[in-house]
Chains A and B, each alone.
Chain A
């Protein structure tokens, strides 16, 4: 956006005052076009994001149960924040998320990069491979969850995974029950990988194709071997901006994990050993509880946490700096 703004109007000052009508028309046309493109988006952002965020911040200061317009009697200051931070279940949900992120972020990163490298190398049927790996991204988490739960990882003897294990004489495993051992992570992680890897693969492919071929040629001339050496010294540094963006997106997506936990785990994900922050907040404020004060406080704590982690990660890895420098 910033780039377009600066370059689009080559010399506003040069237009001078002598050619007023043209300038005004340009100005008006530009402004109109700007609002035409940005307006609806901004309006949506305002209505569906900024107002709700502001309203949550307001609600988080009240004992707001079953109401979104609490009265001044219900004002409790920062009590809701204290309660949420002191709440063992909420803190445990943050740990659950951390485990989830620790599993999902590196694997998604590695496998989407791996897929991108592989698909990029393929000389035939490129479009086919690209779409095949990307297609799952079009699938809803709910639909995929049902497939995973009812056919692949059904805990009964006719579940696909159990049928395969049965050939080797291994007993049926209730994949989605309990956490000893925590098989549910396998189900949840494979599902999320299946859905999201293709999307990040596309991002990586786009970045890979931007790396000038002559860099590799120069490296080969200097005696570098194709493979690990060029990958480490040329490909990876040139992918830095994309890598940072991908890491950030995967991490934020992990924080927002809800659908698959809700649909896969017992009791709508409301189990102490695998409750994600959003599931916890849903049950606090959007289910039958409607404790909107504490729910809002928790949501803001979570938002703040995501912001801090993202900023820190961006700072550490240099988000926004140009590629390859």
Chain B
């Protein structure tokens, strides 16, 4: 670009500077490359031995201390194959989605089922390995892992999401019972808001990234109707969205906290009186707030019921694995037969509900206090993802709520738009 016309010192300095920058980048590249190589070395470090079958198992990064060691421990206990556990930090869903397209894909991995995975031939049916325990698996956990009557995944843990509150603050404000309707929630949140403490923390997006989905379930509607079209085209949805706007406008939402809803810090630091959370934060909350926590499900919208989202993770077997049978055998050994490991996984680190009805009764930690309450509301009001519901459809519902609650757009028009987007997606998949 700059022709070499003269050799004045400044230009030389600039050139040198650019060279240095390039060298710096090159060095950076080399370090990154070395890092990648080292990582590869880790990947392929499947020792020979046993009967020679090596399996690779992927987990997302669980936050609780000891989980990684536990996962590696289970794998080491398995005698029929050499299982290497890989812990994937960061955006696990994206890493997995692209990883499954390559030859270095895991044989066994945790994920959430969607139709795309089945249509792309990425997962194998697991009906045969759960046949013996099928009655012991909660119905919702089975449904979310089923596409067209075939079960592809086995739920490892259930993580209900609900609202946690400080009973002491409720008592100070003269509130006797947690809210059951969203209108009550708005009123209580306003009452609890002071100059230092906000009423409720729904996360960085002010709840617009989850309340639409809860509304659909609260009103008894469905994500996808039997006619394979959007199942939530109902005027009550628009009314519910206006309630979220009302909460948003009330000034009782905690917004801009340094941590998002899945981290209990804002609750522990006393920034808010109530907070959206999940069962995994229970140990941290109990440790920091002691007895001063209570929980309740997401209140009902427009005459609907309360709701609890049952999140969690399921385990799958890669259809393109070179050792599908060995991978299935390992999966059955760990996540079907090895009840000791399942209980340890659910209860020794964070708190999760075992996805097996018989194991829930054995779990002392889940038998009293707020944890027991969480199990109860999860079973009574719980809903789970629909494997046909794609991220694009989910974004359409989030956008609808954001456009109504944050930008004040016309609710009916936004609902119509979301319905249309979801229908277009569905037509693309099933049409």
Contacts and interface: CB of A to CB of B under 8 A. Distances in A.
B257 A272 contact: no
A178 B100 CA distance: 36
B392 A3 contact: no
Interface residues of B, number: 52
Given A210-B10, A210-B11, A176 B204 contact: yes
B131 interface: no
Contact of B256 (A88, A174, A210, A284): A174
Contacts of B292: none
A238 interface: no
B428 A63 contact: yes
A183 to B, nearest CB: 9
B406 to A, nearest CB: 5
Contact of B392 (A172, A175, A273, A284): A284
A179 B407 contact: yes
A150 interface: yes
B212 to A, nearest CB: 12
A17 interface: no
Given A89-B399, A206-B11, A290-B97, A180 B391 contact: no
A180 B94 contact: no
Interface string B195-218: 010000001111011000000000
Nearest to A7: B4
A287 B93 contact: yes
A149 B293 CA distance: 28
Interface in B393-414: 395, 398-399, 402-403, 406-408
Interface string B1-43: 1111000101100100100000000000000000000000000
Residue among A179, A272, A283, A322 with the most chain B CB within 10 A? Answer: A272
B229 interface: no
Contacts, number: 126
B206 A289 contact: no
Interface stretch (A20-28, A29-37, A155-163, A252-260): A155-163
A202 B119 contact: no
Contacts of A159: 256, 258
A177 interface: yes
A209 B11 contact: yes
B363 interface: no
B98 interface: yes
Contact of A175 (B97, B256, B403): B256
Interface residues of A, number: 49
Contact of B205 (A63, A68, A151, A266): A266
B204 A180 contact: no
A67 B98 CA distance: 9
Nearest to B9: A209
Residue among A149, A172, A178, A180 with the most chain B CB within 10 A? Answer: A178
Residue among A89, A156, A202 with the most chain B CB within 10 A? Answer: A156
In the A-B complex, the 5 residue pairs with the smallest Cβ-Cβ separation, listed nearest first, are: A155-B256, A174-B255, A66-B120, A209-B10, A266-B204
Interface of A: 3, 63, 65-68, 88-89, 149-151, 153-157, 159, 172-180, 202, 205-206, 209-210, 241, 245, 265-267, 270-273, 283-284, 286-291, 322
30 contacts: A3-B3, A65-B119, A66-B117, A66-B119, A68-B101, A89-B399, A154-B256, A156-B258, A156-B266, A176-B256, A177-B205, A178-B255, A178-B406, A202-B14, A206-B11, A209-B11, A266-B203, A266-B205, A267-B204, A267-B205, A270-B395, A270-B398, A271-B205, A272-B403, A287-B91, A287-B93, A288-B97, A289-B392, A290-B116, A322-B3
